[in-house]
Amino acid sequence: MNQVSVNQQLLFLSGVTVGAGLMYLLDPGLGKRRRALLRDKASRFTNDFGDAVEVTARDFTNRARGIVAETQTLFHTEEVSDEVLVAELRELPKLHVSCPRSA
């Protein structure tokens, strides 16, 4: 097949598809119902898409805030009293015991 005949075939198939779609939507008996269903589905899609964009934007914002907060804690130094430091150091061995033996 040469290129011209392939283009002609694609053009013909496109015309048949558009014609069938128009017949389906403009049918005097059921066309009104089909158009209403199509309108409702399009409306729902746009609403769902808008909701998805909103959720994604909120998620991105929350993640960005979390990264900023974690970064700030890296550079924030806080004075810890000696008593608190000693208490935290005494807790470290307890954290590293994976399977304590029963006495």
**How does the average pLDDT of the chain come out, rounded?**
87
* pLDDT tens per residue, range 79-88: 888 898 888 8
Under the banding of pLDDT at 50, 70 and 90, the label for residue 89 is confident
Residue 103 has pLDDT above 50, yes or no: no
Instruction: Calculate what percentage of the chain has a pLDDT beyond 70.
Output: 86
**6 vs 13 pLDDT, higher one:** 13
Distance separating the N- and C-terminal Cα atoms of the chain: 87
**Mean pLDDT to the nearest integer, 30-48:** 94
Report the C-alpha gap between 22 and 28 in whole angstroms. 11
